[in-house]
Amino acid sequence: MEQAVVQEASGVEVMQLLRVIYLHLDQPGKAVAALQGARVLLPEDWQTRFRLGLAHNRLGADTAAIAAFERARVGARRTDAASVFGQDV
């Protein structure tokens, strides 16, 4: 599956697709790996951090899940503020 996705997409698109696929297939360990890669490529993407929290939660890694959810919350707030004011915060 990974090879097919890689052949058709860029690095960022690959990570975005794989993170969703692994979560839907209930493979949280693989989802964490894909999400951590996406986090490096998209450091300001709050949705990546939120999905990372979901994956950690499914693995039973509560501390890591809470930290990821908190970073997602802060990132979403920044994104909302930026969209309201039409600028980066």
Ordered per-residue pLDDT tens for the chain, 89 residues: 555 544 555 667 777 788 889 988 999 999 888 888 777 777 888 888 999 999 999 999 999 999 999 999 988 887 765 554 455 54
What is the greatest pairwise CA distance in the chain?
A: 41
CATH value of 2-85 in 1.25.40.10, 3.40.1210.10, 3.10.129.10, 1.20.120.1770 = 1.25.40.10
pLDDT in tens, 50-73: 999 999 999 999 999 999 999 999
DSSP annotation string for 10-38: -HHHHHHHHHHHHHHTT-HHHHHHHHHHH
pTM of the model: 0.72
- The mean pLDDT of the chain is 79
pLDDT for residue 57: 95
How many residues would you count in the chain? Answer: 89
Distance separating alpha carbons of residues 17 and 19, to the nearest angstrom: 6
Taking a C-beta distance cutoff of 8 angstroms, is the pair 23, 55 a contact?
yes
Domain residue ranges of the chain, discontinuous segments joined by +: 2-85
